[in-house]
Amino acid sequence: MDLSEILSTPAGLAIEAMLAAAFLDFAFGVFASARDGSFQMDQLAAFARKHLMGRVFPISTLLVIGYFSGDAGMPMTAAGGAAAAAYAAETLASIYSSIKPTSDVNKNPTPQG
């Protein structure tokens, strides 16, 4: 069993893509929070818990089990692929919201009345 073996499969490429997306989301999220002046150090641990341990690790586990189970693991691979696609969509939306400039509408509300 060689690590490069699984990483060259579609399941391995999905794992690599999820890790890359998680890193980009982290980097752009830190940038956006620093830009907006809302950076908090405890959010780093929350990101690791929520994204890495709560999403990337379980989805990767499904994909690895599916890979090593052969034909019997096709349902695991399909479930992992669907979960990876959902994670990608969520993460890309998060990256987009970090990149777009903040609106000044809420910063200086006009008085009503």
Tens of pLDDT, residues 12-55 = 999 999 999 999 999 998 888 888 888 888 888 888 899 899 99
105 lies in a domain?
Answer: no
29 lies in a domain?
Answer: yes
1 lies in a domain?
Answer: no
- Please report, as a single letter, which amino acid is at residue 88: A
Quote the pLDDT of residue 17. 93
- For residue 63, give the nearest of 46, 87, 39 by alpha carbon: 87
80 lies in a domain?
Answer: yes
Quote the pLDDT of residue 103. 64
Domain count, the chain: 1
Q: For residue 105, is pLDDT > 50?
A: no
Whether residue 82 contacts residue 58, with contact meaning beta carbons closer than 8 Å, is answered with no
C-alpha to C-alpha distance for 5 and 106, rounded to whole angstroms? 51
pTM equals 0.79
Residue 72's domain comprises: 7-99
Main-chain dihedrals φ then ψ at residue 27, nearest 5 degrees: -65, -45
18 lies in a domain?
Answer: yes
Q: What is the mean pLDDT of residues 67-92?
A: 91
112 lies in a domain?
Answer: no
Q: What is the mean pLDDT of residues 83-106?
A: 83
28 lies in a domain?
Answer: yes
C-alpha to C-alpha distance for 63 and 35, rounded to whole angstroms? 36
